[in-house]
Structure 1
Amino acid sequence: MAAIESFDNIHLDLSKETGKCRFAENGLGWKPSGGGEAFTLENTSIGAAQWSRAARGYEVKILHRNSGIIQLDGFSQEDYERLSKIFKTWYSIPLENKEHSLRGWNWGKAEFGKAELTFNVQNRPGFEIPYSEISNTNLAGRNEIAVEFASSEDGGKGKRAAAGKDQLVEMRFYIPGTTTRKEAEGDDAASDADEEEKNAVNLFYETLLEKAEIGDTAGDTIATFMDVLHLTPRGRFDIDMYDTSFRLRGKTYDYKIPYDHIKKFMILPKPDDLHVMLCLGLDPPLRQGQTRYPFVIMQYKKDEEVTIDLNLTEEDLKEKYKGSLQPHYEQPVHQVVSYLFRGLAGKSLLSPAEEFQTHRQQYGIKCSIKASEGFLYCLKKSFMFVPKPATYISYEQTQSVTFSRVGGAVSALSTFDITVHMKGGTTTQFSNINREDLKALENFFKLKGLRVKNEIDEDANLMAAALRDEMADDSEEEVVGAKADRGSADEDESSVDEDFQADSESDVAEEYDSDHESSGSGSAESDVDNEDAGEDDDDEEEEEEKPAKKKKKTG
């Protein structure tokens, strides 16, 4: 054999870029065709090798002696004899020809290998999942388990997943019945203690946690907080804080989150003056099935205190954290947690702007997004709506803010809406805000340099102008009506009343009859007599003449 055997157009670990693969007596190497960092593997690190059909032709899968898998894809079928001789002669390892199951069955047996999980159908592998590609696993039901796959951002994992345009993010297994650890792992040397039967799905879950090293962290926990209420995702989780990451442990879900994923960190006091919310903005977000959570929102009681000693040496506190953490805390829980996140993650703590408070002297504005009620906070550089759907809007991305009335609502006079127009063209509406906070919000937005359009005041001005016009029209109609000829209505009303009394045949004295007497009319007549008796005589003569004229007309 030649000292070196070369193969062109080979892909390493499902990479998009091709390269040249070279085999030598002391090991193998791969170098990308376009230039870049080369990959090498010594012959002493090769534990086993398999030949099988793959996506781009045929594949050589090399199992690392310690852990891990190396995939070389792109070989032709004619290369098998040549490669088999290379592995046998130089590495003293047989190149095993492994055929995959093509039946398409979705039931089989899952086996845990040294570096990967294999799903076998009739003793042939249907598919394999490297442990390095698994980011999390959770019990999704009584006999169901969910396996989540890592993305390219998840702590160095997910290299193979990032190779394709589309990505498989989750797979679920239904595992009924009971089994033993010996059967699950296929280990003949298992002890008698492992012979105890357990629920198969629980044993699968525990084994996968161990094999894939899910939740494992370097070092001991620095601090632990038990049974913390989370509003998003909903539930109670235990918080374990480590050197480079923290872990959320719940009854169903378990998350390991590196501190590097924390992009925003906010403390938001609730308007009830009893609770405080801590909000962590994550990128990439938490994934729970098909639901993504870009924000983790915790809630603490404002007056609940805790006493805790950090599991750190004085040297670490001085050298590594440079005084950002204290060895001992005896304060409210939300303050201690915020101090630890700020010191371990190195993120500044955001809080509501001091320039704005509601009419009740609070920072949170009660409102809603569509049908979801929550609280809107005006921070120094952004809006933040919590708890669900958690919405973050920076002032820099805001084009304008519009104040408007509630359309068709009974409470239109007591509440209003805010519509935030983004520079990208999208809009977000916050509804049912108390009318008493209108002026304070408008002044705050103008202080932050935002363009504000107040449609409420415009509507009020238009309505006032319309009312003024309507009142002016009414007054003009009264003037015109006064000048118009009203016919018989212009005649003296007293003559009309006396005509009615003169024609009446009733013996009963009417109110307007001269024979009718009452205390009110008598007192009025006495007052008039006292003032001027002469005027009464003239009035009587006129009254006698007017009925006579009226009768001549009717006769």
Structure 2
Amino acid sequence: MSIESFDNIYLDLSKEHGKCRFAENGLGWKPAGGGDAFTLDSSTINAAHWSRAARGFELKIFQRNSAITQLDGFQQEDLDRLTKIFSNWYGLRIDVKEHSLRGWNWGKAEFNKGELTFSVQNRPAFEIPYSEISNTNLAGRNEIAVEFAVSDGGKTNGHSGSKNKGKKASAGQDQMVEMRFYIPGTTTRKEAEGGDADDKEGDGADLEERNAVTVFYETLMEKAEIGETAGDTVATFLDVLHLTPRGRFDIDMYDSSFRLRGKTYDYKIQYEHIKKFMVLPKPDELHCMICIGLDPPLRQGQTRYPFLVMQFKNDEEVTLDLNLTEEELNGKYKDKLQGHYEQPLHQVVTYIFKGLGNKKVSTPAKDFTTHRQQYGIKCSIKASEGFLYCLEKAFMFVPKPATYISYEQTQSVTFSRVSGAVSALSTFDITVHLKNGAGSSQFSNINREDLKALEEFFRIKGLRVKNEIDEDANMLAAAMREQAMDDSEEEVVGPKADRGSADEDEESVDEDFRAESDSDVAEEFDSEHESDGSGSDESDVDNQVDDDEMDEDEDEPMGEAERPKKKKKTG
């Protein structure tokens, strides 16, 4: 059998080159360094394009199932050989495509069978395979955002659930994550797909004039199979409030995935991407939160959401019959799901996620409750208020920013008080330090009454705790005692010392002191009055007082003016 070989060929933008071989029954590619080979049967080849590409020239092969295979690294002279191969063995003609190099950012978007083509002056400027598109949403009145599947170490974003999503994006170090199109005016569905608007055989809905951006959005959703699922929905929950990301979404539960449908965003998430599932009762005792940890995280534009946080009312009940047959309930989902539910909504959602996704449900640890006998601790991360939960194996802060810290990653926990804060005596902070210098997270404004319960819980979990609040309190108490000692003139420290005349009767001490120290002042005061011609009557009365009256008056108050009495004159 005849074989044509080409060296240094890259498959689907791969990082490593390999050898490509063509035969009458198909083609194959194998990496030069060894690894899995790729083969393609000739019966699946539908068309082929030749164009200039990154590593030379590219042969793009379109399959009958709309998949696209790209072979890059050919030389200009290889075109003649490939033309004969496709003509003689596959009965196909290779179309030569010249790309537009004008650099214009306006043109026409065309939906082909396997890719979206953006053309400038009837020449393609770039093409986007549908297999690389993970999501699309209306970003404005006439603007649409197209998100690409992001790969991380071989793991794809996978919102659409296809294994091929993001395969080509993983080839390079830099990855495009989003592209936006501005689409003004009106159009019809047939025009958007490249059909003739004058064709009267088309459906009336296809010929209806609508906003061009809306038609583009709906067509891309269909072509790229965004949100499409295999099989019927098992259950649907409408208008569920999400705290992270903020909004209301309808939840469609399928056999291997679930879909979030909102007014702007539409996502499909595989159950295998769920890494954590937590049910967290809210301290207000009116609501319950369900927190779902995702890897890879959900993405809206440049924002990533590693956690979904839903909120339900505790008293909201639902009656639901699952869309499953008796054979499925008794076979695949035996002891996992029931055919009929009539319970609070958050419990039904939990049961179905647990049954379909086979996920373990985490709840707050029973060893800890707040001083109000609740599981959630009201606190904040920087300016964002929320609730901190102590689970069996980790801390969890919700709703935003949702933060998960396992006890295994925790190096130590520090209790501290914010200096200078008005509420410093009634609240405190917790700083969780991570191992290997990975950083720390601080939870602020926690009620002081929860301090002892937290210390006891951390002791049970074997966490290292440093309490800076008690150290500050001891230092403050010592400082207050010293201050009180300095301010008190009567406090006696130790045995009473001999203070001489200071230990005499308090009343007599004051009178003797005034009689001795104030006598001169009084005489000068009286003399001043005499010199002014005033107070003579008061002086005459004083001169007539005998010794007995003086003895009686010593124990009486000093009079209205509280002046010391003048000494009696002696002859």
**Alignment pair present for 1:200 and 2:199:** no
Change (3 A) 1:104 1:467: same
Question: Is 1:460 aligned with 2:486?
Answer: no
Name stretches of at least 5 consecutive residues in structure 2 with no aligned partner.
503-508, 530-534, 556-563
**Aligned match for 2:515, one of 485, 492, 495:** 495
Aligned partner of 2:254 among 242, 245, 252: 242
1:256 to 255, 259, 268: 268
Q: Counting helix residues as a fraction of each chain, which structure ranks higher? A: 1
Counterpart residue number, 1:176:
184
In the TM superposition, residue 388 of structure 1 has moved relative to its aligned partner by 0.7
The one-letter code sitting in structure 1 at the alignment partner of 2:169 is A
Structure 1 contact 243–344 (Cα < 8 Å) conserved: yes
Match of 1:447 in 2: 460
Shift of 1:453: 0.7
SS across alignment from 1:29: strand
**What does 1:454-533 align with in structure 2 at a 5 Å threshold?**
454-471=467-484, 492-493=512-513, 495=515, 499=519, 504=526, 506=535
Relative to structure 1, is the Cα distance of residues 548 and 476 closer, same or farther in structure 2, using a 3 angstrom cutoff? closer
Amino acid at match of 1:65: R
Q: How far is the alpha carbon of 1:491 from its aligned partner? A: 7.5
| One-letter amino acid of the structure 2 residue matched with residue 181 of structure 1 | R
Alpha-carbon shift at residue 549 of structure 1 (Å): 7.4
Whole-angstrom distance in 1 between the partners of 2:568 and 2:148: 109
Question: 1:548/1:59 Cα in 2 relative to 1: closer, same or farther (>3 Å)?
Answer: closer
Matches of 2:244 and 2:2, distance apart in 1: 60
Distance 1:41 1:542 in 2: 127
- Cα distance, 1:261 vs structure 2: 0.8
Q: Whole-Å Cα distance in 2 between the matches of residues 94 and 13 of structure 1?
A: 21
The 1-side partners of 2:9 and 2:291 are apart by 46
2:449 equivalent to 1:436: yes
| Cα distance between partner residues in 1 of 2:291 and 2:475 | 43
Residue number in structure 2 paired with 1:15: 14
CA-CA distance at 1:318 after TM superposition: 2.3
Deviation sequence 1:158-187 (CA, Å, 0-9, x none): 110001111111111111100011211113
Task: Give the match's secondary structure for 1:30.
Answer: strand
The SS at the match of 1:272 is coil
Matched position secondary structure for 1:342: helix
Q: How big is the shift at 1:88?
A: 1.2
CA distance in 1, matches of 2:82, 2:263: 49
What is the distance in 1 between the residues matched to 2:554 and 2:98? Answer: 131
> C-alpha distance in 2, partners of 1:22/1:54?
20
Q: Could you tell me which residue of structure 2 aligns to residue 403 of structure 1? A: 415
Count of residue correspondences? 528
Q: Structure 1 residues 493, 551: closer, same or farther in 2, change over 3 A?
A: farther
SS at match of 1:410: coil
2:359 to 347, 360, 364: 347
Report deviation, 1:537.
9.6
Partner of 1:523: none
TM score, norm. by length of structure 1: 0.89
Q: Which residue of 2 aligns with 1:89?
A: 88
Do the aligned partners of residues 228 and 52 (structure 1) sit closer, same or farther apart at CA in structure 2, a change above 3 Å counting? same
Structure 1: 5+ residue runs without aligned partners? 517-535
Q: How big is the shift at 1:508?
A: 8.7
1:507 Cα deviation from its structure 2 partner: 7.3
Q: 1:259 to 1:509 in 2, by over 3 A?
A: farther
Secondary structure at the residue paired with 1:201?
A: helix
SS at match of 1:323: coil
CA contact (8 A) 2:60 2:68 kept: yes
Q: Name the Cα RMSD after superposition.
A: 3.0
Structural mapping, 1:296-311, within 5 Å? 296-311=308-323
Q: What does the per-residue CA deviation read over 1:427-482, in whole Å, with 9 as the maximum and x for residues that have no partner? A: 11111111111111111111111111111100111122233344556679988999
What corresponds to 1:39 in structure 2? 38
Q: Do the aligned residues in 2 keep the contact of 1:509 with 1:515 (CA within 8 Å)?
A: no
Q: Is the 8 A contact 1:356 1:441 kept in 2?
A: yes
Q: Which moved more, 1:155-164 or 1:187-196?
A: 187-196
Separation of aligned partners in 2, 1:219 and 1:463: 68
| Structure 2 CA distance for partners of 1:476 and 1:58, relative to 1, 3 Å | same
CA contact (8 A) 1:366 1:433 kept: yes
Distance 1:342 1:125, change over 3 A: same
Q: How much has 1:56 moved relative to structure 2?
A: 0.9
Does 1:75 pair with 2:74?
yes
Partner Cα separation in structure 1 for residue 214 and residue 113 of structure 2: 20
TM-superposed deviation, 1:495: 2.8
User: What is the alpha-carbon distance in structure 2 between the residues aligned to residue 346 and residue 541 of structure 1?
Assistant: 102
Aligned to 1:160: 168
Task: Measure the CA separation in 2 of the matches of 1:248 and 1:80.
Answer: 47
Cα distance, 1:467–1:196 mapped onto 2, change above 3 Å: closer
- Is residue 381 from structure 1 mapped to residue 401 from structure 2 by the alignment? no
- Paired residue type of 2:120: V
Contact (CA 8 Å) 2:7, 2:18: kept in 1 or not? yes
- The one-letter code matched in structure 2 to 1:159 is K
Structure 1 residue 493: deviation in Å?
3.7
What is the alpha-carbon distance in structure 1 between the residues aligned to residue 499 and residue 263 of structure 2?
88
2:412–2:432 contact (8 Å) kept in structure 1: yes
Q: Which residue is 1:213 aligned to?
A: 225
Summarize the Cα distance change of 1:437–1:541 in structure 2 as closer, same or farther, 3 Å threshold.
Answer: closer
Contact 1:265 1:350 in 2 (8 A): yes
The Cα offsets for residues 51-91 of structure 1, whole Å up to 9 and x where unpaired, read as 10111111000000222001111111111111111111111
Letter in 1 for 2:189: R
AA aligned opposite 2:219? T
2:4 counterpart residue number: 5
Deviations 1:269-289 (A, max 9, x none): 111111000000011111101
TM-score by length of structure 2 reads 0.86
Q: 2:135 is aligned with what amino acid?
A: N
**What is the aligned-residue identity percentage?**
73
Q: Is the 8 Å Cα contact of residues 498 and 547 (structure 1) preserved in structure 2?
A: no
**What is the CA–CA distance in structure 1 between the aligned matches of 2:110 and 2:427, rounded to whole Å?**
61
Aligned to 1:167, the other structure's residue is in SS state coil
Q: Is the 8 A contact 2:543 2:569 kept in 1?
A: no
Counterpart-to-counterpart distance in 2, 1:21 and 1:428: 53
1:28 matched to 2:21:
no
1:370 pairs with one of 382, 388, 397: 382
Change (3 A) 1:4 1:408: same
How far apart are the structure 2 equivalents of 1:117 and 1:382? 45
- 1:498 & 1:88 partners in 2: Cα distance? 133
SS of aligned partner of 1:385? strand
Distance in 1 of aligned mates of 2:181 and 2:146 = 8
The answer to whether the 8 A contact 1:28-1:43 is kept is yes
1:227-269 Cα deviation digits (max 9, x unpaired): 1111011111100000000001011111111111110000111
